[in-house]
Amino acid sequence: MIEFKDFSFQYEEGKEDSLKHVNLTIPDGTFLLLTGRSGCGKTTMIRSLNGLIPHFYPGTMTGELLQNGVSLVEMPPSEMAGKIGTVFQDPRSQFFMTDTTRELAFGCENMGYSREEIIRRMVKTAQDLELGEYLNRNIFALSSGEKQQIAIGSVYAMTPDVYIFDEPSANLDYEATRRLTKVMKFLKNAGKTVVVVEHRFYYLRELIDQVAWMEQGELVRTFTREEFWNLEEETRIRYGMRTLFPERELRKYQSPSQAEGTHTPVLTVSGLGYAYEKRTPIFSDVSFTAGEGEIIGIIGHNGAGKTTLLSVLTGLLKEKTGEIRFRGNRLSPRKRRKLSYLVMQDADYQLFASSVEEELTLGLTPAEAGGEKVLRTLDELNLKEYRERHPASLSGGQKQRVTIGAALMKNSQMLYFDEPTSGLDYDSMVRVSGLIRVLAEKGGVIFVISHDFEFLARTCTKILKLDRHQRTYHLYRTEEVIDELIDELTEK
Amino acid sequence: MSEQSIQQKIEQNLFPGTANLDPRCKLLLLIFLGFFSYMIVGDVTGLLLMVVFGFLVAAGGDGKWAVKMLVAYVVVAYLNTRLKYVTIPGLSVIMSVFGVTILKFIPIIMVGRWVLRTTCMDDLMVSLERAKFPREITIAFVVMFRYIPTLKIEHGMIRNTMKIRGIVDTFWKKLLHPLSTMEYILVPLLMRCLKVTEELAASGTTRGLERENVRYSLRPVRFGWKEVAVAAGGFLVLFTLYVLDHTAVGAVVIWR
């Protein structure tokens, strides 16, 4: 049993407590969902649980945090390893090895187990979690979902009693999320305690025993599964929570959109195809038109070619067949790059300058970067007060807005978003959706790659679905594809 | 998949031949090479050095890479000779110094990348620990080793963004503004590096990276007679080439 008893914590560089008088009991074998708006203290809770606080992230604390009566905060992380296992959010930055087999062995090697014991544990892990096919592969060649399976395996091999997952579905497609649910169900059935921090939690609804909702460092409310399933819609939205039943939410978007028919066609893609050297095509014969102000969602499983399609449309790759025309003019990759702007999932790659204002004008001629326009853009995106700040010092959402600002300054006619709502709470998702719709009203065409169907249904006029087996695509109006999206979600 | 086939897969050797040498042996060879490469200046001895170490790399499963580097060596060596005939005051000297430096680096790059690609981080960690390196140094060394392959991926992402934003997106802009190009690549790269190393360290810590107990790696790590023979052989070859360099052999000119 884990107990938080009047537990408070303040980071060394923090101005106020990140956790305030938290009282929570997690009985053994409980499946706990920890949720709340961004910055509410969820991450601090799990850092306290896995020993990173106070040893890795120092600070001051009061109250107690106990596991079976033993204080967790006094235990060094090296002693906790093997007892409490953590699967981190970003699958790219939690691997120590470069191949999958060694990664699975990593934790056991640290524990000082003999070679025979390490192999025995690895065999059991590969069998229990069905990881046999992933062995001896290069970590960098795996998809996000596969990387996460290896991360879970590496923790599982150490046989901890408590598992912590930090936003595990943030980088996954629906297929990978279903596999994640299966693994979590396996852990729950094995009697393990599972703590999951998550914004999009619909996939956990059958597993949850207890839900803790936090706000501004306080644990405000706990729910049993029944209470959580029957939560009023209005309360859920007030709490800034995503829905537990996205299929119900999606049905709302099944009636034809009001704006249908008002879009003048501007972008014509015909017979577009791409293949990496001498290999089978990633996609071929993609043809569609997009109207001014349209928002097109791109969906498909990992490996279906979403990123490659985006790279060709933005002009980062040159098409092998077909052509792309904008307002009647055929566009070379170079011209496409001039007209396009890609807002990446990870804003850190996109920020180069030393102030927000400089960031917005980077790469533009003095005429293009006229003073008035910068101010207007800053104002429009609520960034005026951060004008002089270093972009790296901003929060994730603010960084995203700075990159959007750079797109506005560049006057991009074609905007591309890659997973813009990954890891966002309900309020932020609604805000991003609204912002994208406002951008669309300015003209041009917007493309969005996303696995977040709730967001897509709310935002897009059309959905382009790439099929990885048949190497083909389908383009639907959003309301036509809702049934299919629901099937994907509910595993039909 | 059956238990037996999983076990076979786990115990399977990922690399052939010399790539399975103890990481300490590979690192020793790299250090010897770095030391002697600058002192061996003759055309014949330099080429022999490339050939001998090329064989070592090829025997460790990276034959294509060895051939590529050998070709690069010959081309750079030849171009360096041609430079003698170009006389631009100041620039000629800089260019020839630059050319010679690159030439000396080629064998080190050849062996260095091979070591990087064929060394598992856990073998490296265990072997350094066996050599009594302090834990602080081993962990820092391993994190650095692990981060190098990531650099290429991160660099690619940043370059794509630069292209789309129209920041130093052409060859001419790069040539005219080398400092800003460096800055635009380095700033996001450092930001990412800070984030990744923090997350990496956190993930390692929760999996017992800091534990003080003795470690065993999946594959037995031992500095045995093979390693002694290869390290001594490597040293002997380099020393012989160095001696030869001071005889008539060192004065033979191949590249004219």
pLDDT value for A307: 86
Measured distance CA(A147)–CA(A94) in Å, rounded: 9
Do B184 and B234 fall within a single domain?
Answer: no
Residues of chain B with C-beta less than 8 angstroms from the C-beta of A105 = 122, 217-218
Element (H, E) at B167: none
Whether B105 and B159 share a structural domain: no
What integer is the mean pLDDT of B84-94? 74
Q: Which of A37-41, A46-50, A193-197, B6-10 has the lowest mean pLDDT?
A: A37-41
For residues B72-80, give the mean pLDDT. Answer: 90
Q: What is the pLDDT of residue A363?
A: 78
- Please list the residues that pair with A447 across neighbouring strands: A296, A416
pLDDT at A262: 67
Q: Which of B188, B213, B220 is nearest residue A348 as measured by Cβ atoms?
A: B188
Cβ of A96 within 8 Å of Cβ of B200? The answer is yes
Largest CA distance in chain B: 71
Asked whether residue B129 is domain-assigned, the answer is no
Q: What percent of chain B has pLDDT over 70?
A: 97
| Count of domains observed in chain B | 2
Residue B131, domain member (yes or no): no
Average pLDDT for residues B42-65, to the nearest whole number? 93
C-beta neighbour count of B85 within 10 angstroms: 7
Q: Are A310 and A283 in contact (CB under 8 A)?
A: no
Of A233-237, A275-279, A468-472, B83-87, the least confident: A468-472
Q: Which residue of chain B is at minimal alpha-carbon distance from A414?
A: B164
Say yes or no to pLDDT of B132 above 70: yes
For residue A43, give the amino acid letter.
T
CB within 8 Å: B205 and A118? no
| Residue B139 placed within a domain | no
Residue of B nearest to A140 (CA): B150
Q: Is residue B27 part of a domain?
A: yes
Looking at residue B100, its pLDDT comes to 85
Given an 8 Å threshold on Cβ–Cβ distance, is A126 in contact with B6?
A: yes
Asked whether residue B191 is assigned to any structural domain, the reply reads: yes
Cβ density class A216-245: b for 16+ within 10 Å, e for less? ebbbeeebebeebeebeeeeeeebbbbbbe
Question: Confidence band (pLDDT; 50, 70, 90) for A249?
Answer: confident
Domain-located, residue B3: no
C-alpha angle with apex A430: A426 to A435, nearest 5 degrees?
A: 150
Q: Which residues of A touch B158 (CB under 8 A)?
A: 349
- Record: contact B205-A52, CB cut-off 8 A: yes
- Tokens linked to A214: 């936090």
**More confident of the two residues B122 and B171:** B122
Q: Which of residues B230 and B158 earns the better pLDDT score?
A: B230
Q: Are residues B240 and B151 in the same domain?
A: no
Query: By the 8 A CB rule, do B208 and A107 touch?
Result: yes
Question: Does B112 lie in the same domain as B31?
Answer: yes
Provide the pLDDT for residue A257.
58
Domains of chain A as residue ranges with CATH: 2-251 (3.40.50.300), 265-489 (3.40.50.300)
A90 CB neighbours in chain B (<8 A) are 199
* Mean per-residue pLDDT, B214-218: 89
CA angle A428, A433, A438 (to 5 degrees): 125
Which tops the pLDDT comparison, B240 or B94? B240
Q: What share of chain A has pLDDT > 70, as a percent?
A: 97
Q: What is the pLDDT of residue B166?
A: 75
Provide, as residue numbers in chain A, all residues whose Cβ is less than 8 Å from the Cβ of B199: 88, 90, 93-94
- Predicted local distance difference test score (pLDDT) of residue A277: 76
Q: What percent of chain A has pLDDT over 90?
A: 50
CB-based contact (8 Å) between A335 and chain B? no
| Same structural domain, B157 and B92 | no
Contact between B208 and A111 using a beta-carbon 8 Å cutoff? yes
For tokens 């076990």, the residue is: B7
CA atoms of A477 and A464, how far apart (whole Å): 9
**Same domain assignment for residues B207 and B242:** no
**CB-based contact B218:A382 (threshold 8 Å):** no
Mutation target among A46, A47, A98, A308 for the B interface, most CBs of B within 10 A = A98
- Is the pLDDT score of B142 beyond 80? yes
- Confidence at residue A382, expressed as pLDDT on a 0 to 100 scale: 83
Residues B242 and B204 in one domain: no
pLDDT digits (tens, 9 = 90+) for A424-475: 888 888 988 998 998 898 888 999 999 898 999 999 999 998 877 766 677 7
pLDDT value at residue A260: 54
Please, which pLDDT band fits residue A3 given cuts at 50, 70 and 90?
very high
Q: Give per-residue pLDDT as tens, A7-61.
A: 999 999 888 899 999 999 999 999 999 999 888 899 999 999 999 999 899 999 9
pLDDT digit string (tens) for A213-235?
999 999 999 999 999 999 999 99
Distance from CA of B62 to the nearest CA of A (A): 16
The one-letter amino acid at A377 = T
Q: What is the pLDDT of residue B99?
A: 83
pLDDT level of residue A283 (50, 70, 90 thresholds): confident
pLDDT band, residue B212 (cuts 50/70/90)? confident
From the list B126, B165, B208, the residue facing A107 with the nearest CB is B208
- Asked if A406 is an interface residue toward chain B (Cβ–Cβ < 8 A), one would say yes
Q: If you measure CA to CA, which chain A residue comes closest to B157?
A: A349
Angle of helix B43-59 relative to helix B63-83, nearest 10 degrees? 160
DSSP helix/strand/coil, B88 = coil
Q: Look at residue B167 and tell me if it is in a domain.
A: yes
Question: Looking at the predicted structure, is the pLDDT value of residue A350 above 90?
Answer: no
Model confidence band, residue A254 (pLDDT cutoffs 50, 70, 90): confident
Q: Which of A317, A339, A312, A341 is closest to A326 using CA atoms?
A: A339
If asked whether residues B116 and B224 sit together in one domain, one would say yes
* B27 and B70 fall within a common domain: yes
| Residue contact A112–B215, C-beta within 8 A | yes
Count CB pairs under 8 A between chains A and B.
195
Residue B105: inside a domain: yes
Q: What is the mean pLDDT of residues A151-167?
A: 95
Indicate the burial class of A294 (C-beta count within 10 angstroms; 0-12, 13-18, 19 or more): buried
Verify whether the Cβ–Cβ distance A86 to B208 is below 8 Å: no
Q: What is the value of pTM for the model shown?
A: 0.89
Whether B239 and B250 map to the same domain: the answer is: yes
Distances (CA, A) of A354 to A182, A320, A349, A378, A394: 45, 39, 14, 16, 12
Are the beta carbons of B196 and A93 separated by less than 8 Å?
Answer: yes
Cβ A349–B188 below 8 Å, yes or no? yes
Looking at residue A261, what is its pLDDT?
56
Residue A258 clears pLDDT 70, i.e. is over it: no
User: B71 with B154, same domain?
Assistant: no
**Mean pLDDT score, A81-87:** 93
Name the residue of chain B whose CA is nearest to A120's CA. B7
Q: Which of B154, B196, B215 lies nearest to residue A110, judging by beta carbons?
A: B215
Are B98 and B175 part of one and the same domain? no
CB distance B210–A76 less than 8 Å? yes
Across the range A112-134, mean pLDDT stands at 94
Nearest CB partner across the interface for B208, out of A99, A110, A338? A110
Domain of residue B212, residue span: 147-218
Q: Regarding predicted confidence, which is higher, B175 or A339? A: A339
